[in-house]
Amino acid sequence: MSGEIDALGGLVTAGLVADSLDGQGSKAPGRIDAAAVAARHHRCANCDAPVDGHFCANCGQAAHVHRSLIHVGEEFLHGITHFDGKTWQTLPMLLFRPGTLTRSYIEGKRARYIAPVPLFLLVVFLMFFVFSFVHIKLPGGDFGDLTPAQAAAEKLKTDKAIAELDREIKKAEARDDGAAAGTLTGSKAALEARRDSLAARAKGELGSPLDLPGAIREAASDEGLKVNLGEESLNIKARKALKNPDLAFYKIQGKAYKFSFLLVPLSLPWLWLIFAWKRGVRMYDHAIFALYSISFMSLLFIVGSIALTLDVTAGWLWGSLFAASFVHLFFQLKGTYALRKRSAAWRTVAMAFAAFMTLTLYGLLMIVLGVID
């Protein structure tokens, strides 16, 4: 992971260097001077219209044209972090005043904010980028790649290690070495958790959700995997794909990223239903609401994924993320649709249920698409 961070840091540095070089004036290497272009041609390089000033009056392109390679890094950095300065106005509004942001955009006050579609695409890209580095640490480890016989053999080894630790603990207690006894007791507890997971795997059970790929691979190799998608040709494709579940899961993740936009149309029927009798509300309003809402929820998923990767298990963090989703939804509904508190409250509960159903349907659809592809 450090390699990717170093690469990103290098890109940022390149962008900063490019900005410094671009500030050196019109004679910087690799540049086309606007004044020189105007003096020779007085024409826009894009549409060939007459140029009088820093920008073309016909197409809006800058008269000052860059041709330095390092400027690519500057444009990349600017495109992600600036959005012409709108990012730092949009994100605080999205986080703390979502109803005002959504209502303002619907009413036409749009110049100061990032449009909901580009923001949605950016956040979703960032979310799946973070997902690619996530590693969930669960007690007992991941034993999904072990067969029950292998797990039983590993359990015997673990039992021997626990017995050895018991002897060492007794020796430490005999010489009244409390610190050593405490350390050894902690190691024993970890081994006992490992032994329990191995015992479950030896019985054919899953020790954790991360064991699922190994269990699927084992069932597929034993011809014990049953798939019923309603069509035999699809069943054949699915069984073939699940013989390599890691690849299948990778395809599912790829499909989830490519078809993430489906979350919006899947959300619209629910919004239409709970506002069916409210006048002055259009499907366009629901679409803008959904785009901004999903963008915020994606940011919560990013924070949660990073916490899992860092093995942060603090209850206050997960409680805060869970509460933030409801609070944000409440205030966005209230501000966007000009609702009273009671009306916004019951719609918040309804939309929470709708979000669960939407994610479930979306997840099932991505699994099917990833498996049969």
User: Does 131 lie in the same domain as 270?
Assistant: yes
The predicted-structure confidence for 34-88, as pLDDT tens digits, reads as follows 445 444 457 888 888 888 878 888 888 887 777 676 777 777 666 655 555 677 8
pLDDT value of residue 195 = 79
What's the structural domain count of the chain? 3
Q: How confident is the model at residue 20 (pLDDT cuts 50, 70, 90)?
A: very low
| Strand duo 65-66 + 31-32: pairing | antiparallel
Kindly tell me if the per-residue pLDDT of 104 is higher than 50: yes
Choosing from 175, 208, 243, the residue where a domain stops is 243
Q: How confident is the model at residue 128 (pLDDT cuts 50, 70, 90)?
A: confident
User: Is 142 inside any structural domain?
Assistant: no
User: Does 335 lie in the same domain as 251?
Assistant: yes
Return the minimum-mean-pLDDT range out of 9-18, 80-89, 276-285, 312-321: 9-18
Output the pTM of the full model: 0.61
User: Does 369 lie in the same domain as 290?
Assistant: yes
pLDDT value of residue 273 = 93
Tokens of 360: 């479930």
- Rounded Cα–Cα distance for residues 222 and 285 (Å): 52
User: Does 259 lie in the same domain as 233?
Assistant: no
User: Is 143 inside any structural domain?
Assistant: no
Tokens of 128: 């799946």
User: Is 65 inside any structural domain?
Assistant: yes
User: Does 320 lie in the same domain as 272?
Assistant: yes
User: Does 249 lie in the same domain as 318?
Assistant: yes
User: Does 304 lie in the same domain as 200?
Assistant: no
User: Does 335 lie in the same domain as 281?
Assistant: yes
Average pLDDT over residues 119-141: 72
Average pLDDT over residues 351-357: 93
Choosing from 81, 111, 126, the residue where a domain stops is 81
The predicted-structure confidence for 289-310, as pLDDT tens digits, reads as follows 999 999 999 999 888 888 877 7
| Domain membership of residue 26 as a residue range | 1-81
pLDDT value of residue 207 = 45
User: Does 249 lie in the same domain as 153?
Assistant: no
User: Does 189 lie in the same domain as 234?
Assistant: yes
Average pLDDT over residues 138-142: 45
H/E segment holding residue 292: helix 283-309
pLDDT value of residue 278 = 85
Helix, strand or coil for residue 193?
helix
User: Is 42 inside any structural domain?
Assistant: yes
User: Is 284 inside any structural domain?
Assistant: yes
User: Does 358 lie in the same domain as 306?
Assistant: yes
Helix, strand or coil for residue 100?
helix
User: Any idea how long the chain is?
Assistant: 373
Q: Which residue has the higher pLDDT, 262 or 180?
A: 262
pLDDT value of residue 81 = 56
- Rounded Cα–Cα distance for residues 95 and 101 (Å): 10
pLDDT value of residue 37 = 46
User: Does 160 lie in the same domain as 101?
Assistant: no
What percentage of the chain exceeds 90 in pLDDT?
22
Kindly tell me if the per-residue pLDDT of 144 is higher than 70: no
Q: How confident is the model at residue 96 (pLDDT cuts 50, 70, 90)?
A: very high
Choosing from 243, 272, 290, the residue where a domain stops is 243
Least Cα distance to 265 among 157, 120, 367 occurs for 120
Return the minimum-mean-pLDDT range out of 136-150, 209-223, 340-354: 209-223
pLDDT value of residue 318 = 81
pLDDT value of residue 208 = 44
pLDDT value of residue 98 = 94
- Rounded Cα–Cα distance for residues 219 and 148 (Å): 12
Kindly tell me if the per-residue pLDDT of 26 is higher than 60: no
Kindly tell me if the per-residue pLDDT of 350 is higher than 50: yes
